[in-house]
Each structure stands twice: as structure tokens, then as C-alpha cells.
Amino acid sequence: MLRWGMIGASTIGREWMAAAIAAQPDAEVAAVAGSDPERAQRYARELGIAKAHAFVTDLLADPEIDIVYISTTNESHAAHTLAAARAGKHVLCEKPLALRVEDARAMVGACQAAGVVLGTNHHLRNAATHRAMRDLIASGAIGQPLAARVFHAVSLPPHLRGWRIDRPEAGGGVILDITVHDADTLRFVLGDEVESVTAMTASQGMGMSGIEDAAMGVMRFRNGTLAQFHDAFTVGHAPTGFEVHGTEGSLFGRDVMTQRPTGTVTLRRNGEEEAIPLEHENLYERSVRRFNAAVRGEGPPPATGDDGVRSLAIALAARDAAQTGHAQDVSC
């Protein structure tokens, strides 16, 4: 059995990840720890987790723990990952890996030096929809990709309207929350790297303390593909989507920028439309299954630490572009 320790008594852990770990035949959630011992204890009781450690240092010193899942607020990911690497634990860390690219790089370096696996929990790579679009593009189904469009403007659920909208120092804002996912998913589906980004942001009533709650922009990829993105916490009535338009055809992903295993993919070419058959699977269960396999030496996790560094660099470049009014190169 692989024994997981959760760092952070978080909503994502409660809603998706604890169950995704428990669903594996070869893994269990053995412990949790956070900044508040009483809350961690309550969380453990509610989720049926055997142990609540009073402090994160205790969890990291627990010899029974093989892997940690870090889902604290964004400003703590780096310190927790560095401590976990020092303790010899494998790390699945939530996105964004850190608030600065240098810190994210240091996380990758520390895990490499310690010989532990580092993964970034970019769940969308595990969606049947995005994997199908990636495979179709790689097989040449739409020819050379020319343009992509990502619609990821949603209404932030009321129970998540905390640090995301009022704590810039915790890494709040739509860019570090959503654009970072778009960046990773575009890289994954297109199999290409972003070289430059431009963006504009707005505060449309939800973001406080200067935090943006809406962003639109364009990423240019090395092979010339232009990708447009629209991300928001403030849009309540729009479906999500992911399109790629190529020289020989177009792909339309509908309801695909989501945590749920849903959505459709349609291929349009030569005047015909084809619904692509998909086998949906819980995205987080697949993420954990593949991470466990990586720990056993069976290939990389779905999104590596390096993927986390790159998606962060793109998101931060988008934020800089919005602040400066100038397109930003992405170098990492």
C-alpha cells in the first residue's frame, strides 16, 4: 500500500482528492495536517482519515507516510514541498506550484536531488476530452493547428469566495486559479510551448484588494499557433469550451473545462461533423492512479513538476502583460 498524507485541510481534498486516493486499490489516506490542529482533527473525523497530526512537521516525520498531497493556499506550496523533499516524501502539489517561477524551479530541483517524484495536480490532462483532442491533433486529424480558443469563464462557487478574491498574498485571482490551467491544457493538447503572452484583466465586482476576477488574452506558441483565453469568476451562464482550428479541420470541446468527467468533442472537416467517442473517468482518480504508478517507477505523473513550472511562468507572464500593457515573453 502507498500511504498518503494530506497537507492542508482543504475543500479540494474534501470534495475530490481524499476520495480519489481512497478509490485506489493500492493506496490510502493515512494522515492529515494543517495550520490548525483542531480543524485537522475535525477534518480527519469527517473524512474517515486515521490520523490527524498537530503540525505539518509531525506528518513529514511520520515514517508511515510515502506521499504527500499539498493543497494549502498557494503561497505555502513551495515551503511545504521543500520540507517534504527533505523528509524523503513524494509530492503531488496543487497548482500553481508557487507564486514565483524561481520558487517553482527550486521545488523541482529539491525533489530531483531527494530522488522523490514531484507532480502538479493539473487535473484537466486527465480528462478523456482533452486526451482525445491531443491524440487527434498528434495523428494529424486537423492538419497544422492555427488557432485555439479556451472558454473558462465561470461563476466562482460561493463557498470558494475566500482567499481567491481577497488575498493577493495567498496567490488569489483568476490568473493563478484558472489561466494557469488553460496554459497547461493548451501545452498538453497542442504538444507545443508558449513563447509570448498578452492579456487584459478586470475586477468586475468579486475581486477585492486589486485582485482580478476576469482575464482575456492571447498566447502565441512556438509553431505559430495563436490561443485565445477568457477566464472569469464572474460569469454565471456560459458553457466552457476548448476549440482548436487547423489547416484540415476543427475540434470543438464543449463543457470540458471542468472538474467533472463530462463534455463532448466534435471533429469537423470536409463539411462533415463527427462526435468523438469518449470513455469518461474521474479526473482526480486518474491523476492519483498515474501518480502512484510514477512512484512505482512506471513513467512520469500526468503533469510533472516541470509542467507546473511552465504553466506558472505562462500565467505570471499573462499577469505581467495585463499590468504593463505589453506582451511578455515566456522563458523557462
Binding region for ligand NDP (CB under 6 A): 8-12, 34-36, 39, 71-74, 94-95, 121, 123, 160, 162-163, 177, 259
CB of 128 to ligand NDP, least distance (A): 16
Closest CB to ligand NDP among residues 133, 176:
176
Closest CB to ligand NDP among residues 78, 141:
78
Closest CB to ligand NDP among residues 55, 140:
55
b/e string for 238-253 if b means 16 or more Cβ within 10 A?
eebbbbbbbeebbbbb
CB of 232 to ligand NDP, least distance (A): 16
Closest CB to ligand NDP among residues 172, 246:
172
Rg of the chain taking only CA atoms, in angstroms: 19
Closest CB to ligand NDP among residues 95, 230:
95
Question: Which residue minimizes CB distance to ligand NDP?
Answer: 34
CB of 330 to ligand NDP, least distance (A): 20
CB of 320 to ligand NDP, least distance (A): 20
- Indicate the residue type of 208: M
CB of 79 to ligand NDP, least distance (A): 11
Q: Strand 194-202 vs strand 145-153: parallel, antiparallel, or unpaired?
A: unpaired
CB of 318 to ligand NDP, least distance (A): 16
Closest CB to ligand NDP among residues 141, 175:
175
Closest CB to ligand NDP among residues 198, 201:
201
Cβ pair 62, 90 in contact under 8 A: no
- Indicate the residue type of 90: H
The separation between CA 223 and the C-alpha centre of its own chain, rounded to angstroms, equals: 24
Q: Residue 270, class by beta-carbon neighbours within 10 Å (0-12 exposed, 13-18 middle, 19+ buried)?
A: exposed
Handedness of CA 96, 98, 101, 104 (dihedral sign): negative
Closest CB to ligand NDP among residues 149, 163:
163
Closest CB to ligand NDP among residues 177, 182:
177
DSSP label at residue 270: T
Cβ pair 116, 91 in contact under 8 A: yes
Handedness of CA 203, 207, 208, 210 (dihedral sign): negative
Q: Kindly provide the residue ranges of all beta strands, DSSP E only, lying in the chain, ordered along the sequence.
A: 2-7, 27-33, 51-52, 67-70, 90-93, 118-120, 145-153, 194-202, 214-221, 226-232, 241-246, 250-254, 264-269, 272-275, 328-329
Cell of residue 241, nine digits: 469550451
Euclidean distance between CA atoms 292 and 203, whole angstroms: 40
CB of 224 to ligand NDP, least distance (A): 30
CB of 191 to ligand NDP, least distance (A): 21
CB of 10 to ligand NDP, least distance (A): 3
